[in-house]
Chain A
Amino acid sequence: MRLDRTDPLAAFLLRSPIGALVDWVARVRASVQRKLLVAFLLITLLFIGMGAFSVLTIREMARQSDLLDRAHQRLEWSQQIHQSLAMQMHLTAMALLVRDEAAIASILRENNRFNEALGRLEEAVEEPERIVIQKVRAAQEEAMAVVADIANLVRDSKIEAATRLHGSREDPLYRSIDALVSQMVQQENARMVRLRDGLHAALERSLVVMGSFAAISVLLALAGGFVISWMLIRPVHAAHGLLHELAAGRFGGSVTVPNRDELGELAVQLSATSRELAHLDAEQRRAAHELATLNAKLQQASVAKSEFLANMSHELRTPLNAILGFTEMLTDGLYGPVPAEFREPLLDIQTNGRHLLRLINDVLDLSKIEAGRMELSLGEYSAEEVVNTVRASLRSLAEEKGLEFKTEIDASLPEVMLGDAKRITQCLLNLAGNALKFTKRGRVTLRAAREADLVHYSVSDTGIGIPADQLEAVFTEFRQLDATITREFGGTGLGLSITKKFVEMHGGRIWVESRLNEGSTFHFTIPLKSEVASTV
């Protein structure tokens, strides 16, 4: 696996048990969509859980707060009872002093308030406190009976007896009630303090729990995100690595990922593609190697062929030298006068011997060119000299055939140009010789003209012409238009091919224009200062 683009924290986590979890999730046989869905559901559930817990906590708080409220209420009632009791004691003392009906009525009113508050408290409290309340109520009822006796005594103006009763009965009764009520108030107070402390503790506890829950949720969500994203990133990295290798031309590598989902399939496909590419690459290399070997063999064969031709041409030339030499000496009368009837066959021997020599020369030239051993010998030359040489060589042939042979030289041509005069002469001899050969009447014109930094040679004739579809083929070796032409007009079939190669070696271009039965014009151009290609 490639971790080169992974930051150090991720790399550390991937080596930890969470990395094993990434592997495990990758190995789960399910689609990526399903895995993502499950991961998001898990995270959502975490947050729903956290929300539910918050709601529960809030409810619990509300309940506690309600309890506190009620405790507060009870404390208030207890205090009211305490106050009413004090008022009753005070009013009873007052009634003894003022001996007034209204004061007694006030005691009764206060008693009612006391009973009312006691009743409300009794409803709100639980069993142990209720017993205390019942004791208070019983004592109060007894006290009220004493108050009623005292009231009657006061009405009968038996103040002394009333005061005695008050001192001996009512006062101790009130004191015991007061003790009970004080106890009650204390109890309620303690209860309220307990509740308040409990509420504070519960609040703190739920804050801690909520905080922990939130922290754990965030950690779990992060871990889930990490696992699910690295389950996706790792195969992508691996695929990227392989694609990088493939792009660099290193085929045959593979990716192994634990994923059993779309990404796993992708990795398998990628590896298969890489193997196939490696296979194709190897095949292509083998083919290229075979081709190169074959090419080298062909090259060798070509060189061997050219050497064979060169040797053969030498071997052929030696006896030909003897044939032509003896014939010339015969016709020159070196061996005595030649009988008239011998002259024609001797001339025929010479003509055919020369034709054979031309063939051998052309074959030798071509084989040298093809073996890459033909070199131009460049020097300064004059177009006029070259054209004049050609005219001098071919004048007798033109006269023999009764053809007009014209030459035209552009005055704007430089006096000296760079090129291989011997080869350019050979090219023009080939073209003009052909023109004379293939023209039965009319004229042949040889021109040399300047065209920017080129010299443009052309040879026009009024001969048989070349069909349009054969115009390119005429520059191919052994391509005379058909065998009858060879028989009728002679020629080696190599002249144009050699001419083309010499022109190209000079960095020039050759082409032909022709109309059947009207004539042909062969053109070639050579740079005035030719940059010479050593071989073609």
Chain B
Amino acid sequence: MSRKTILYVEDNEFNRKIVRQLLAQTSYRLREAPDGESGVRAAQDELPDLILMDVQLPKMSGLDATRQLRADPRTANVPIIVITSYALSGDEQKARDAGATAYIAKPYSPRDLLSKIREIVPEA
């Protein structure tokens, strides 16, 4: 089986670096996008196996981007894990309403994030 592609949409370089280094140890291929709009474009171009979507993003919020991807038949079924820094009640519901497959609160443990990714998209 070919390697699974993961798209990470996040504006903070350090957080992207964490995921980059975390996945470097695995067989996952990582694509990165620094804002909501480029995230949507990258998803439509690459058709990844999983999308990690931050909520607070420049240009377009993670929730809007998720909605847009769900509306597009090509990306409608791609799993999306929404990452938010507002770890409050209601946030999870908002993420799920937007079409997220799963929800993870920031700050997350890289260990936990990796196990969540593996749970949804097992490595090749």
Within 8 A of A (CB), among B73-124: 85-90, 93, 106-111
Interface size on B, residues (CB 8 A): 22
Q: Contacts A321-B108, A334-B25, A357-B107 given; indicate if A329 touches B86 (C-beta within 8 A).
A: no
CB of B95, distance to nearest CB on chain A (Å):
13
Interface-forming stretch among A62-70, A179-187, A312-320? A312-320
Cβ-defined contact, A377 with B90, below 8 A: yes
* B12 interface hit (Cβ, 8 Å): yes
Q: Contacts A314-B56, A334-B25 given; indicate if A325 touches B89 (C-beta within 8 A).
A: no
Cβ-defined contact, B89 with A377, below 8 A: yes
User: B18 contacts which of A310, A313, A322, A365 (Cβ < 8 Å)?
Assistant: A322
CB of B30, distance to nearest CB on chain A (Å):
15
* B15 interface hit (Cβ, 8 Å): yes
* A423 interface hit (Cβ, 8 Å): yes
User: B88 contacts which of A318, A329, A335, A368 (Cβ < 8 Å)?
Assistant: A368
When C-beta atoms are compared, the residue in chain A nearest to B18 turns out to be: A325
Taking CB atoms, residues of chain A closer than 8 Å to B89 are 375-377, 420, 422-423
Cβ-defined contact, A318 with B106, below 8 A: yes
Cβ-defined contact, B85 with A314, below 8 A: yes
Complex CA gap A322/B15 in Å reads 6
Within 8 A of A (CB), among B46-79: 56
Taking CB atoms, residues of chain A closer than 8 Å to B21 are 329, 334-335
CB of A166, distance to nearest CB on chain B (Å):
165
Complex CA gap A321/B15 in Å reads 7
Taking CB atoms, residues of chain B closer than 8 Å to A420 are 89
Cβ-defined contact, A325 with B86, below 8 A: no
Cβ-defined contact, A314 with B86, below 8 A: yes
Q: Contacts A318-B12, A334-B22 given; indicate if A325 touches B107 (C-beta within 8 A).
A: yes
* A332 interface hit (Cβ, 8 Å): yes
* A326 interface hit (Cβ, 8 Å): yes
Cβ-defined contact, A328 with B85, below 8 A: no
Q: Contacts A322-B15, A325-B108 given; indicate if A317 touches B22 (C-beta within 8 A).
A: no
Taking CB atoms, residues of chain A closer than 8 Å to B86 are 310, 314, 364
Cβ-defined contact, B93 with A321, below 8 A: no
Taking CB atoms, residues of chain B closer than 8 Å to A328 are 109-111
Cβ-defined contact, A318 with B85, below 8 A: yes
When C-beta atoms are compared, the residue in chain B nearest to A368 turns out to be: B88
Complex CA gap A350/B102 in Å reads 26
Interface 1/0s, chain A 350-371, versus B by CB < 8 A?
0000000100010011001000
Interface range for A: 20 to 34
Taking CB atoms, residues of chain B closer than 8 Å to A313 are 85
* A324 interface hit (Cβ, 8 Å): yes
Taking CB atoms, residues of chain B closer than 8 Å to A374 are 88
User: B107 contacts which of A324, A329, A364 (Cβ < 8 Å)?
Assistant: A324
Complex CA gap A361/B18 in Å reads 22
Interface 1/0s, chain B 1-35, versus A by CB < 8 A?
00000000000101101100110010000000000
When C-beta atoms are compared, the residue in chain A nearest to B93 turns out to be: A377
Taking CB atoms, residues of chain A closer than 8 Å to B22 are 329, 334
Complex CA gap A317/B87 in Å reads 11
Taking CB atoms, residues of chain B closer than 8 Å to A375 are 89-90
CB of B98, distance to nearest CB on chain A (Å):
17
Complex CA gap A375/B86 in Å reads 13
Q: Contacts A361-B87, A375-B89, A376-B89 given; indicate if A326 touches B18 (C-beta within 8 A).
A: yes
Cβ-defined contact, B18 with A318, below 8 A: no
Cβ-defined contact, A317 with B107, below 8 A: yes
Complex CA gap A374/B91 in Å reads 11
CB of A506, distance to nearest CB on chain B (Å):
13
Complex CA gap A422/B90 in Å reads 12
When C-beta atoms are compared, the residue in chain B nearest to A378 turns out to be: B89
Cβ-defined contact, B93 with A322, below 8 A: no
Complex CA gap A223/B110 in Å reads 108
Cβ-defined contact, B18 with A317, below 8 A: no
Cβ-defined contact, A319 with B14, below 8 A: yes
CB of A333, distance to nearest CB on chain B (Å):
10
User: A320 contacts which of B93, B107, B109, B111 (Cβ < 8 Å)?
Assistant: B107
Taking CB atoms, residues of chain B closer than 8 Å to A321 are 12, 15, 18, 85, 106-108
CB of A331, distance to nearest CB on chain B (Å):
10
Cβ-defined contact, B110 with A329, below 8 A: yes
Complex CA gap A357/B17 in Å reads 21
Apart from A318-B106, A322-B17, A364-B88: 8 A-B pairs, beta carbons within 8 A: A317-B85, A318-B15, A325-B108, A328-B109, A328-B111, A335-B21, A365-B88, A374-B88
Pairs of residues from A and B, 4 with the lowest C-beta to C-beta distance, nearest first: A321-B107, A322-B14, A377-B89, A325-B18
Seen from chain A, the residues whose Cβ lies within 8 Å of a Cβ on chain B are: 310, 313-314, 317-322, 324-326, 328-329, 332, 334-335, 357, 361, 364-365, 368, 374-377, 420, 422-423
Seen from chain B, the residues whose Cβ lies within 8 Å of a Cβ on chain A are: 12, 14-15, 17-18, 21-22, 25, 56, 85-90, 93, 106-111
20 contacts between A and B (CB under 8 A): A310-B86, A314-B56, A318-B106, A319-B12, A321-B12, A321-B18, A321-B108, A322-B18, A324-B109, A325-B108, A325-B110, A326-B14, A328-B110, A334-B110, A365-B88, A374-B88, A376-B89, A377-B89, A420-B89, A422-B89
